[in-house]
Amino acid sequence: MKKLLLFSACLFVGVIVYWAQQRWQTVPLALPKPPTEAVPTNTTLPWWEMQIENAVENKEWRLAADYTSRKAAYHRSVNELNQAETLDALSRQYADNDTDKLPLVSSAEPVASPSSYATLEAFVSAPTTAAAQPAKFEPVTGVYLGMLGADKRVGFNWKQIEPVYGRTHAMYLTYVGWRKVQTQTNSYFPVQQAENAKAMGGSLQIGWEPRYGLDDVQDDEYVRTFAKEAKASGIPVFLRYASEMNGAWVPWYGEPAKYIEKFRLIHKIMKEEAPNVVMVWSPNFMPRDSIHDYYPGDEYVDWIGYSLYATGGPQSAVNDKSGFLDSFRPLYDAYPGKPIMISESGVSHFNLVKNVSYERWAENQLGDLYAYLPRLYPRVKAITYFNFSKDRAVRSNMDTVYDLGENAFADRIYQRLIQSDLYLSEVKDNANTKESITYKPLAQASNLQGKRKLFTYVSMPFSEQPFAVSYSQAGKSLGVSHELPWEIEVDFSKLDRSQPITITAFNRSMEKIVEQQTQVPQ
């Protein structure tokens, strides 16, 4: 009897266990409750994956290999070594497919550097307010996005800019020769270009060039008609009258006093005839020693404009920080209170004379221009890219190629960075970004509460960039960024004010390049 009872009990337990196993196999286990604050979504990884897919489809093998290597490095950073190894092998396979063996100038992977060669500086977001007396069409926050559109894909058809580059631009650059008649519209002002820009909700930036010299600039029928036609366009017009006057390559160079006289004359006429015209005083960033000699005075200048180019590739000195971020400071500080536009900017990725590609250097320079520059210099309110095709560069006897579409690395980084909320697609009074923030050095901030954006300016030799930047406090991770400007969101209300933030830059092998501790402001 006892054996029968024991057998029955065992059978009962067995049935219960079997039923439970079957139920567990068909009903999902309940997931643990998510933390109070969800981990931010990594948007970089899906972007890389999309670029790899597009690159393979278009047989852009160097890009496919490089982005696959980045993805492998990411998996290595989170200790997913099998995935990393598989991706490394795939990256090598893509590289072997590359038949376009361009001579490349590329340095080795960044390694640990002396602090004098590689430095980190943290910046934090802060709410902003409009200037007390904003200039014409000066945005409260944000940067107007502009382009020339002379590249091989757009070919001056500005309607192609959005489908090609993935975002509507706010400003379209064109040039007008002095006393030139626009034959399409029988006008002095570029009416057709203005209508094209207006149809897209955009504005014009005009390089108005007194090609016959300053003596030919008079208060006459030509200038008055140009001004009236500008007003009739009904759109914002950023007028770069006689730009790059500090360069010997233009016929209006060399007579600063006469230049100032003529600039003031044009300002007077535009003020009388065309209130929608913004007077932009726009020297070249080089040579610098004579720039201020041509300045007409604050009351005659609405915006400051600079032509700002990165050419020549990385330099040879180990402590070289080629590019324009650090050298831009004196230009930025020279005219306080004025909004600044980068009225022309280009990054060379290919040297036609040497037949050498600087594609990775160019990628980093574009990162400096579109990720760093307007964050480090918040009065920069517009950037126009001089997108000029290789064929046109050859015909113009230029040494360098700026066309984004001629190089996959430049193309992708541009498309990625201009998606930021920082960039504006429409010129209007009191234009603003959704977040309405600006940035200041963390060391200069105070009373930080709540969630803020935190990014790090990484300055390295040869204008290189790390693979990732991490933030931690007392051994606890605050976040990791895998793309410029190395930005994360931090809740400062939850930080320990007595403990510094540790910022670490890594290369693709996840080796430390440089590390720095920054105190949390009280």
Residues with a catalytic annotation lie at 244, 344
Question: Which sign, positive or negative, has the C-alpha torsion 507, 509, 510, 514?
Answer: negative
Encoded amino acid at 207, one letter: G
Encoded amino acid at 495, one letter: L
Beta strands in 406-449 (DSSP E): 423-424, 437-441
Closest CA to 448 of 418, 486, 493: 493
Could you give the C-alpha distances from 474 to 37, 71, 140, 514, in angstroms and in order?
Answer: 19, 28, 37, 18
Pair 117, 319: CB distance under 8 Å: yes
Q: How far out from the chain centre does Cα 450 lie? A: 27
**CB count in 10 Å sphere of residue 43:** 11
Task: Classify residue 347 by burial, with Cβ atoms within 10 Å: 0-12, 13-18, 19+.
Answer: buried
Q: Token pair 């009416």 is at which residue?
A: 191
Give the per-residue SS3 of 141-155. Answer: CCEEEEECCECCCCC
Q: How far out from the chain centre does Cα 357 lie? A: 21
113: which residues sit within 8 A by CB, 6+ positions away?
460, 461, 513, 514
